[in-house]
Structure 1
Amino acid sequence: MRIAIAHDYLTQLGGAERVVLSLMKAFPGAPVHTTLYDPDTTFPEFRDADVRVSPLNKVGALRTNHRIALPFLAPAASQVMIDADVVVASSSGWAHGFPTTGKKLVYCHSPARWLYLPEEYLGTKAGVIKPALSAMTPALKRWDALAAKTADRYLANSHVVQERIKQVYGISADVVFPPHRVETDGLQEPAAEVVQRGWPDFHLLVSRLLPYKNVDKAIDAFNSMPDERLVIVGRGPIADRLRSSMGANCVLLEGIPDAQLRWLYAHARALVAPSHEDFGLTVIEAAAFGTPTLALQSGGYLDTVKPGVSGYFFPVAEADQIVDAVRRHASLPLDRAHVTAHAATFSEEAFISAIRRAVGELVN
């Protein structure tokens, strides 16, 4: 049986890209089809994979900034013809539209946020992107609806995405939680900038730096708590704006190696997760090291955080609510052994077994 893997674009270091790495383990040797691929800005493991790209990949500017590729991604996706018996498409907007000669199983991270949750996705400072997107939305929604109909089966990465798929496409999807791929016994390298500051402890925030991630709210919270410290790990278009708003007790690290991220996960007092996430894989990655999470009571965090066991919720993404959560955890710290046990329920082995089983059911 010929299996192929599909993904929107391989230009980032994110949870969706980690899922593709797990799919590669589930189906060794399967080619990976995508619209854009930049080996320098995503996980190095993809260099050893058979990555096949659309003609759009010839334009270097689009590889470095997939957002400006938005007007071209739908036609580019329609040109990614995949000759396979089964395509497993990891999709948050484009890969579910790749045409194929065989069956298509879509693992959906979310129906396209920029179409169905534009305010949340773009934030309040969207500049010229927002009117341009508004103009394209009717045509993109038509393309997206047709793309969804080409799938033989949908899987959702969380219950909130399951509900969204039903609402947007009218499709019933089963939930398969994505795995964490953190090697807790892997090499740990202290983050030099944190060590140099001599911080005895710190909170951690791992996120792409986009408006809807609410990183600015976390910075505001820690600016009001000079006795606490925050380490932010991530890249994105608002990095400079965030950095300019930080107090001396906050630091932003961009593009750090996995060994340093493992060290940060292992040594953080807690992970701060203030964004609207469809799943929120960083919560499970942190929990694998016994680090609890202070999370927004919304979206995928409802699946990944067990209140009072692996973390605490705050009701809205506002600075004062984040402060309350930090203070609550300081007064009622959680047992790190219980946090680790919670993370074990989101193993890569369980994910691979579920995906293989879904492919088998689809074929049979």
Structure 2
Amino acid sequence: MRGGERVLETLAELYPDADIYCLVADFDKLSPTLQKRRIFTSFLQNLGGAKTYQKLLPLMPAALESFDLTAYDLIISSEAGPAKGIIPRPDALHICYCHSPMRYLWDLSYEYYNAAGPISRFFMRLTGPWLRSWDVTTSARVDHFLANSAYVAKRIWRFYRRESTIVHPPVDLSRFSINETPEDFYLCAGQITPYKRIELAVEVFTRLKLPLIVIGSGITDKLQKMAGPTVRFLGSQPDHVMAEHLSKCRALVFPGVEDFGIVPLEAMACGRPVIAFGRGGACETVIHGQTGLLFNEQSPESLTSAVLEMERTYKEYVPERLRAHAAQFDKARFSTKLRAALDELVLNTPSIPRPPLRAASGF
């Protein structure tokens, strides 16, 4: 239940009768709201499901196109991958809420390639060109794009040459609270993948001998070996543990380039400032000097300078102001904005029969 799943949850609440289609599902990890819904998975569910999901990329086009969606006149796809590649019927309206064009096929393809083993590299070279062609072709199957940030809207235009409407994803303020007695550690959180640059934070805090806690799956031996005694790895943790550490940390460290990045807003909802790299979605949530600090280069020197500045100024950040800033992205506001955007698109598409509408949403 990360950012994309939270958006799907809101879509499910907006369309209580909608069926849900997805490539794979780990039903035990879904929220109660989603567990109650009728969910259809693809044949990839029988090939390992969520455990082998990322390795099944070449099969995803066939899996998505195998869904028979001819019963639906409204289809909402929610994706950071290939979900928009479903085949709608000719008179259906297809709206795609895009968290990101597939990063491992486009702007981060070389990073993923360099981090892969020799066998994976071979298959990436073999399948990459036709997957990119398929990805561009299937963008024409979408009638309207919604983007989760201005950064993603630019990338949608870059790769698909399509305009999009920006609707920022939600932060659930009810899950977070201000801790009146924060502790003296910094926090790095999220699934550990190459583009998140967790190793940059580990290197800097090891060098500065300042306490850093890292929460997230994907910890490598290389990362652990480069960490000094002030760095602790907790691995994947449940939501309540994550919320507790966000409320107690001195500041969140966010060294990667994210399409939007919900964790900085979760930190602000706890009244904690953020140190973020000044590119990507963080520039739309972190206000330099007011809700945190933006550093200019993904280098040890640039991050070190930002951390030392935070050490000098962290007491100047007022927790209530940080939470008020995060409240602008609250789930209730997101739900209202998303419903308004969807209703406008539906009403302005005269070829779609109305009423009633039977909807399918997919992730």
Q: Same fold (TM over 0.5)?
A: yes
Please state how far the C-alpha of 1:147 moved relative to its aligned partner: 1.3
Deviations 1:78-120 (A, max 9, x none): 1123332322211122111122342111111111111112346
Task: Tell me which residue corresponds to 2:14.
Answer: 26
Q: 2:215 aligns with which of 228, 233, 250?
A: 233
TM-score by length of 1: 0.87
Matches within 5 A, 1:266-345: 266-333=247-314, 334-345=317-328
Q: Find the counterpart in structure 2 of residue 206 from structure 1.
A: 189
Rounded to whole Å, the distance in 2 between the matches of 1:339 and 1:186 is: 11
- State the match for 2:148 in structure 1: 157
Q: Which of residues 100, 104, 117 is equivalent to 2:107?
A: 117
Mapped contact 2:178–2:271 kept (Cα < 8 A): no
Aligned runs of 1:255-270 on 2, under 5 Å? 255-270=236-251
Which digits, 9 at most, give the CA deviation of each residue in 1:308-349, with x for residues without a partner? Answer: 111101111222222211110111222222211110111111
Q: Aligned pair in 2 of structure 1 residues 240, 47: CA closer, same or farther (>3 Å)?
A: farther
Contact 1:113 1:121 in 2 (8 A): no
Q: Partner of 2:94 in structure 1?
A: 104
Q: For the residues of structure 1 that align with 2:225 and 2:260, how far apart are their CA atoms?
A: 29
- Partners of 1:203 and 1:269 within 8 A in 2: yes
Structure 2 residue runs of 5 or longer lacking an equivalent are 348-363
Cα 1:138–1:120 change in 2 (3 A) is closer
Mapped partners of 2:110, 2:17: distance in 1: 37
Q: Deviations over 1:136-188 (max 9, x none)?
A: 12211221122111111001111111111111111011111001124246799
Cα displacement (A) at 1:29 = 4.0
CA separation of 1:46 and 1:255: change in aligned 2, threshold 3 A = farther
1:305 to partner: Cα distance: 0.7
SS of match in other structure, 1:113: coil
The correspondence for 1:127, drawn from 101, 110, 117, is 117
SS of match in other structure, 1:155: strand
Which of 303, 324, 330 does residue 347 from structure 1 map onto?
Answer: 330
Shift of the alpha carbon at 1:289?
0.9
- Counterparts of 1:37 and 1:241 in 2: how far apart (Å)? 31
1:81 to 1:241, Cα distance in 2 relative to 1, 3 A: farther
Q: CA RMSD in A?
A: 2.2
Unaligned stretches of 5+ residues in structure 1 = 1-12, 189-198
Contact 2:183–2:248, Cα closer than 8 Å, also in 1: no
3-state SS of 2:8 partner: helix
Query: Does 1:69 pair with 2:56?
Result: yes
Q: 1:254 to 1:103 in 2, by over 3 A?
A: same
Instruction: Indicate the residue corresponding to 1:85 in structure 2.
Output: 73
Paired residue secondary structure (1:124): helix
> Is the Cα–Cα contact under 8 Å of residues 295 and 303 in structure 2 kept in the other structure?
yes
- Contact 2:84–2:138 (CA<8 Å) still a contact in 1? yes
Report if the CA contact (8 A) 2:146-2:164 is conserved: yes
Q: Name the CA shift for 1:15/1:185 in 2 (closer, same or farther; >3 Å).
A: closer
- Residue identity opposite 2:162 in structure 1: I
Secondary structure in structure 2 of the residue aligned to 1:111: coil
2:15 & 2:87 partners in 1: Cα distance? 20
The CA distance in 2 between the partners of 1:211 and 1:52, in whole Å, is 31
Q: Would the aligned equivalents of 2:96 and 2:142 in 1 still touch at CA under 8 Å? A: yes
Secondary structure of the corresponding residue to residue 104 of structure 2: helix
Once residues 23 and 231 of structure 1 are traced to their aligned partners in structure 2, the CA distance between those partners, rounded to angstroms, is 33
1:321/1:124 CA distance change after superposition, 3 Å = farther
Alignment check: 8 A CA contact 1:35 1:80 kept? no
Which residue of 154, 158, 175 corresponds with 1:167? 158
**3-state secondary structure, aligned to 2:320:** helix
| 2: CA distance, partners of 1:209 / 1:43 | 23
Aligned mates of 2:223, 2:55 — CA distance in 1: 22
